[in-house]
């Protein structure tokens, strides 16, 4: 178990930034390995001077390039675009913490580089890209059968359960979405970008990006009131699981089912007892009961009332065993309407059939730090 000093730079007793992979002692006597420092020149060489042909993608935090180190190892080099809210020392402390978080379902941070105002992160390179490209894009790059999809849901749930419940102090990811679930050579999922949201002011970068583009992943209480708890990640996981089972992106509303969000449509099908209609038509064979269970677990995760959502360790249980889900306890999802429709927040109530909507813009988005479980 790693006992880190997330956000508390003062507990580090010493640093020697020029030397990689040393250990530093926290005041509690725990040791954390220091992040490897890559020189800027080394990364220039690895990425062919950040050439556009090496560019893999661009997201809320910056631009990602594929690089090859001198020893032949492939890496993903992320050049952070937004100004960090911290000074170099605090930034390095956060980065030390992130690079000490290791789990088979988390993308490994190999090191970093601070060069003038540039801050660059070096990650292990995941050759099968992210599931937005592999599964949800126009040009789906990989054929994912049911076993692979179920492994993606399970592995992502395990990675999140580790961040939420095993790591001390725990980490709320804040940005669980298809482009942050990367696939290794065996198509096992690895969550990317954990710990990063904390480095930046909330008013720029990924938060505003999400409101504009991928609002479908956001828990209602996060958008409306800025309440950021572990349960906001659980909500996003629910949306992601539906995407994996259905092969449809939550960012679209043109599924041939009217102008509905994926979660909204899933709830409607659930109420009609037709959840199987949601399964990706490209899936030729799949265990129907299991697929239905996965979709119901997704609905449990996305309930409008955050306290009713399961913890991620419970989600792994619900997904992995053929447990009977207590559907009497299942309440409707809350969701944010996407940019394709009027901007607002909707929570539909099953029993009264009333719809409550609030204008998103009238609620300031201020996130809190890691919140209690
Ligand atoms: N470690 C990695 N290995 C391979 N591809 C990656 C890696 N990290 C990110 N990518 C690719 O780069 C794209 C942009 O990533 P990122 O900057 O993290 O944006 P996002 O905001 O979508 O998370 C992702 O969609 C993914 O396909
Ligand atoms: Mg990412």
Q: Which atom of ligand 1 is nearest to the CA of 127?
A: 4
Name the binding residues for ATP. Answer: 78
Could you tell me if the CB of 59 is within 6 A of ligand 1?
A: yes
Q: Are 334 and 346 in contact (CB under 8 A)?
A: yes
| In CATH, 31-124 is 3.30.200.20 | yes
Ligand 1, from 130, 134, 200, 236: best to mutate by most atoms within 8 Å of Cβ?
130
Which residue in 183, 156, 149 sits closest to 282, CA to CA? 149
Catalytic residue among 96, 132, 175, 193: 175
Q: How many CA atoms lie within 13 A of 26 on its CB side?
A: 17
Quote the pLDDT of residue 145: 95
Phi-psi label, residue 140: left if phi above 0, alpha if psi -120 to 50, beta otherwise: beta
Could you tell me if the CB of 205 is within 6 A of ligand 1?
A: no
Tell me how far apart the alpha carbons of residues 348 and 331 are, in angstroms, rounded to a whole number. 10
SS3 275: helix
Task: Report which protein residue has its CA nearest ligand 1's atom 6.
Answer: 129
Quote the pLDDT of residue 4: 30
Structural tokens at position 370: 């890691």
Tell me how far apart the alpha carbons of residues 87 and 134 are, in angstroms, rounded to a whole number. 37
| In CATH, 131-370 is 1.10.3720.10 | no
Task: Report which protein residue has its CA nearest ligand 1's atom 20.
Answer: 59
DSSP annotation string for 315-370: HHHHHHS-PPP-GGG--PBEEE--TTS---EEEE-TTT--EEEE-GGGS-----SS
C-beta atoms surrounding 109 within 10 Å: 26
The answer to whether the bond into 299 is cis (omega within 30° of 0) is no
Quote the pLDDT of residue 348: 41
Quote the pLDDT of residue 233: 95
Quote the pLDDT of residue 23: 56
Could you tell me if the CB of 64 is within 6 A of ligand 1?
A: yes
Q: Residue 182 C-alpha to ligand 2 middle, in angstroms?
A: 9
Which residue in 94, 93, 91, 59 sits closest to 76, CA to CA? 59
Could you tell me if the CB of 81 is within 6 A of ligand 1?
A: no
Q: Is 30 a catalytic residue?
A: no
Q: Residue 29 C-alpha to ligand 2 middle, in angstroms?
A: 33
Which residue in 75, 91, 71 sits closest to 83, CA to CA? 91
Quote the pLDDT of residue 315: 98
**Which residues share a beta bridge with 181?**
191
Distances (CA, A) of 153 to 120, 159, 232, 284: 30, 10, 17, 19
Quote the pLDDT of residue 32: 61
With 0.85 as the threshold, say if the pTM is over it: no
Instruction: Check for a shared fold between 31-124 and 131-370.
Output: no
Could you tell me if the CB of 241 is within 6 A of ligand 1?
A: no
Q: How many CA atoms lie within 13 A of 101 on its CB side?
A: 32
Which residues have CB atoms below 5 A from the ion given as ligand 2? 59, 180, 192-193
Q: Residue 326 C-alpha to ligand 2 middle, in angstroms?
A: 34
DSSP annotation string for 76-127: EEEEE-SPPSS-HHHHHHHHHHHHT---TTBPPEEEEEEETTEEEEEEE--T
Quote the pLDDT of residue 146: 97
Quote the pLDDT of residue 197: 77
81 alpha-carbon distance from chain centroid: 19
Q: Which atom of ligand 1 is nearest to the CA of 124?
A: 1
Give domain limits for the chain. Answer: 31-124, 131-370
List per-residue pLDDT tens for the chain, 373 residues long: 332 322 223 222 233 333 334 555 544 455 566 789 999 999 999 999 999 999 999 887 889 999 999 999 999 999 997 666 567 788 888 888 899 999 999 999 999 999 888 899 999 999 999 999 888 876 777 889 999 999 999 999 999 999 999 999 899 998 899 999 999 999 999 999 998 877 765 544 444 444 433 567 888 888 777 777 899 999 999 999 999 999 998 877 666 666 788 999 999 999 999 999 999 999 989 999 999 999 999 999 999 999 999 999 999 999 998 778 999 999 999 876 543 343 334 444 433 333 232 222 222 222 222 233 3
Quote the pLDDT of residue 336: 66
Distances (CA, A) of 88 to 30, 200, 364: 22, 13, 29
Q: Which atom of ligand 1 is nearest to the CA of 190?
A: 1
Q: Residue 132 C-alpha to ligand 1 middle, in angstroms?
A: 10
Could you tell me if the CB of 189 is within 6 A of ligand 1?
A: no
Tell me how far apart the alpha carbons of residues 356 and 354 are, in angstroms, rounded to a whole number. 7
Distances (CA, A) of 271 to 182, 337, 350: 33, 20, 9
31 alpha-carbon distance from chain centroid: 28
Tell me how far apart the alpha carbons of residues 29 and 12 are, in angstroms, rounded to a whole number. 10
Handedness of CA 180, 156, 92, 74 (dihedral sign): negative
Q: Residue 64 C-alpha to ligand 1 middle, in angstroms?
A: 6
Tell me how far apart the alpha carbons of residues 137 and 252 are, in angstroms, rounded to a whole number. 11
């Amino acid at each position: 178990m790693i006992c880190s000093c997330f956000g508390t730079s003062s507990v580090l007793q010493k640093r020697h930034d020029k030397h990689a992979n040393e250990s530093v002692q926290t005041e509690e006597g725990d040791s954390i390995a220091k992040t490897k420092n890559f020189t800027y020149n080394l990364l220039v060489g690895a990425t062919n001077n950040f050439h556009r042909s090496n560019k893999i993608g661009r997201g809320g935090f910056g631009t990602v390039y594929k690089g090859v180190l001198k020893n032949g190892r492939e890496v993903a080099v992320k050049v952070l675009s937004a100004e960090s809210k911290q000074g170099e020392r605090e930034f390095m402390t956060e980065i030390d913490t992130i690079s000490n978080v290791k789990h088979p379902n988390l993308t490994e941070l190999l090191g970093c580089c601070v060069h003038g105002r540039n801050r660059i992160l070096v990650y292990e390179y995941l050759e099968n890209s992210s599931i937005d490209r592999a599964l949800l894009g126009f040009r789906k790059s990989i054929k994912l059968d049911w076993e692979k999809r179920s492994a993606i849901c399970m592995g992502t749930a395990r990675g999140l359960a580790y961040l939420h419940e095993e790591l001390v102090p725990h980490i709320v990811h804040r940005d669980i979405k298809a482009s942050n679930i990367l696939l290794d050579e065996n198509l096992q999922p690895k969550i990317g970008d954990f710990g990063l949201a904390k480095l930046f002011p909330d008013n720029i970068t990924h938060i505003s990006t999400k409101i504009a583009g991928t609002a479908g992943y956001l828990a209602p209480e996060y958008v409306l009131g800025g309440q950021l708890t572990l349960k906001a990640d659980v909500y996003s996981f629910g949306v992601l699981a539906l995407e994996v089972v259905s092969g449809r992106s939550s960012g679209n509303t043109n599924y041939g089912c009217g102008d509905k969000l994926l979660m909204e449509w899933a709830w409607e099908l659930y109420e009609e007892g037709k959840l199987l209609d949601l399964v990706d038509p490209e899936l030729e064979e799949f265990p129907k009961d299991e697929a239905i269970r996965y979709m119901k677990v997704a609905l449990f995760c996305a309930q409008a009332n955050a306290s009713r959502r399961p913890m991620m360790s419970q989600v792994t249980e619900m997904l992995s065993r053929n447990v009977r889900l207590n559907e009497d306890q299942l309440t409707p999802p809350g969701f944010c309407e996407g940019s394709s429709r009027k901007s607002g927040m909707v929570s539909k109530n099953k029993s009264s059939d009333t719809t409550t909507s609030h204008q998103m813009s009238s609620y300031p988005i201020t996130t809190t730090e890691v919140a209690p479980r």
